[in-house]
Amino acid sequence: MISKMNKLTVLVYHKDYEEFLVGLRNAGVVHVAEKNSGSAVTPELQAMLAEYARCEKLIRRLESVAPNDSVHTGDCENAILVEEKCEELFKRQEKLQQEKLAVEKDIATMQVWGDFDNSVFDKLADAGYAIRFYQVREQAFDPAWSELYNAVVINNVGSKCYFVTVTDKNLEFEIEAETARLSSSSLGKLKAEYEEILANIITVRDMLESCAEEYIPLLRAYGKQIQKNIEFSKVMLDGEKLSDDKLVLLDGWVPEDSVADAKAFLDGSSAFYEMRAAKRGDNVPVKLKNNAFARMYEVLTKMYGMPSGTDFDPTPIVAPFFSLFFAFCMGDAGYGLILILLGFLLKKKMGKEMAGMMNLVITLGIFTTVIGALLGTFFGISLIGSDIPEKLKSFIVAGNVELFGSTYDKQMILALAIGVVHISIAMTVKAINSTVFYGFKESLSAWGWWLVVVGGVVIGTLSFLSLIPAEVSKWAFIAVGGLGAIGIYLLNNLKRNVFANVGAGLWDTYNMAAGLLGDVLSYIRLFALGLAGGMLGQTFNSLAMMVVDGQEGLGAVFGWVGFGLIIVIGHTLNIAMSCLSAFVHPLRLTFVEYFKNAGYEGKGVEYKPFKNKE
């Protein structure tokens, strides 16, 4: 359901505006309508946004060093100094890393030449000699260079030859080899420098770990403080200045159940206000209001998009069908019990924010246990072939059924039937939604398709079950088809001429015929995924039994150990993969098949009250 909203218009004297907003934030029930905050950004607001981004980036960098989940309870006065200290350490760390890479490169260059004292070059120069360093492909080294230039091979690495020449320093010559570039420091000094850099890196890393442990909570609190100031500044900009900037006009929205709290604050303020019920056409923010069961699934609705002013809340219908789809895709009662157990265990260890998610996991586990039992699978074991009572086996949907002269799997037929029901409900919702928000005259096309599709499904089902005679079903088909055709082809838009309506109706017929078949067939994925998970679980069971079959003595002990490992690891992997597919594919059936046929667009704005956020 969607909470009813009331439009609030407030007129405040400009000098009292900031104080008024502080009180409004403390009341915490008014969704302020955005006017200028998206376009008019003051230098102060821009500075706060930059500081918040800087703070969040620093927190992420510190968390990569040492995560810290503790909470800061004091003030945030020293946060800027902490930021500067941490950023200085990160700059120092980056500089050391660059120096480390440079020294590593120099060491790699000098490694082939060995460790020597560079001062020997000066002594040779004083004696009138020059030493030159070269590298060349080993096959390209000319032995004549040894005679001509006193070439001496120092090292051969891979396919390269490293050599030096010792000649008179005034002798000018060229040889077909590449001149090697050496570091100004010896190999020994480079290695000592490298060790010193590593020690400094460890020191800086230890200091950063200490900073992460001590300052992450402070920086988080500081970030929240900045965020509050940003939100306050944005709301300040949302006020429209009137009467030569002497008055400020502010618009907002208040849910019906919060009107008393809003009035309690407004009556005690110096502001003039007016509150009225929302009208059709108002850009109303949406606050979902559902029971405990449907509330767990509001996250799925928000994931797609909030309902707009011309939409119903889809959550009450999404909740049971998503649970059913999830359970069908899992298809194993044993896996459902694991989800229930996992949900209860994690619920005790996680905070309040995740408790609702764990309630959803427990609920999906319950659905999976029930549906998995009806589909006849328990940890990959077929319940049909087990020793459970025959009366219980009669409830299991398994085996084949003959329809129209052909044989089909019962579970596949069940998946398609669920799809037909789901799409029929979507079309019913679309017709009712269109009537409520646009009027019956504007909804004749939707009701026409509803008669043709949903009416046809109902009549066909009753006829198939022999609940109505064939003659009655024939005339019923003709009646709903004729009435539906009038709405689809003649009355789909009362403002257009009949020929334009017929053309539009034919185009809708093409799209509907092509779309509905594909939509219904999409629900086969429920059967396919459940079947795949069950077969994979059965395969792991078979592999585990192969390990213990025929084993005796010590071999039997190792066999049972292998049995346990295969069962635990195999079913854990299967549960993980099944959960992933059981979430993604039901989400697809909801977002595509259901929302498309229900006409749900999800373009609404979520109700977000201006309040102090802890």
Local structure of residue 286 (DSSP, 8 states): B
* Greatest C-alpha distance within the chain: 122
Pairing mode, strands 247-255 and 31-32 = antiparallel
Question: What φ, ψ does residue 180 adopt, rounded to 5°?
Answer: -85, 140
**In 589-605, which residue ranges form alpha helices assigned H by DSSP?**
595-598
Alpha carbon distance 260, 264 (integer Å) = 6
State residue 91's pLDDT score: 93
Q: What angle do CA 312, 316, 320 make, to 5 degrees?
A: 145
Q: 167 pairs with which residues across the strands? A: 130
Pairing mode, strands 240-242 and 247-255 = antiparallel
Question: What φ, ψ does residue 401 adopt, rounded to 5°?
Answer: -140, 145
- Token reading at 315: 């959550």
Decide if 236 contacts 22 (C-beta within 8 A). no
DSSP 3-state assignment of 312? coil
Regions of the chain with pLDDT less than 70? 36-40, 351-353, 550-555, 613-614
Alpha carbon distance 364, 237 (integer Å) = 45
CB-based contacts of 8, cutoff 8 Å, min separation 6: 30, 251, 252, 253, 254, 262, 273, 274, 275
Alpha carbon distance 477, 265 (integer Å) = 61
State residue 340's pLDDT score: 93
Question: What φ, ψ does residue 5 adopt, rounded to 5°?
Answer: -115, 150
Decide if 609 contacts 30 (C-beta within 8 A). yes
With 0-12 CB in 10 A as exposed, 13-18 as middle and 19+ as buried, what is 41? middle
Residue type, 485: A
State residue 466's pLDDT score: 77
State residue 555's pLDDT score: 67
- Token reading at 504: 């539009």
- Token reading at 406: 């052909």
State residue 614's pLDDT score: 59
How many other C-beta atoms can be found within 10 angstroms of the C-beta atom of residue 397?
A: 14
Q: What angle do CA 15, 21, 22 make, to 5 degrees?
A: 105
* Closest C-alpha to 525, from 584, 453, 476: 584
CB-based contacts of 484, cutoff 8 Å, min separation 6: 447, 448, 449, 450, 451, 452, 455
Decide if 321 contacts 597 (C-beta within 8 A). no
Decide if 575 contacts 280 (C-beta within 8 A). no
Query: Locate tokens 């006017």: which residue?
Result: 35
Query: Locate tokens 């043709």: which residue?
Result: 452
**In 312-469, which residue ranges form alpha helices assigned H by DSSP?**
315-330, 333-349, 352-375, 390-393, 410-438, 444-450, 456-464
pLDDT in tens, 319-375: 999 999 999 999 889 999 999 999 888 887 776 667 778 888 999 999 999 999 998
Local structure of residue 72 (DSSP, 8 states): -
State residue 206's pLDDT score: 92
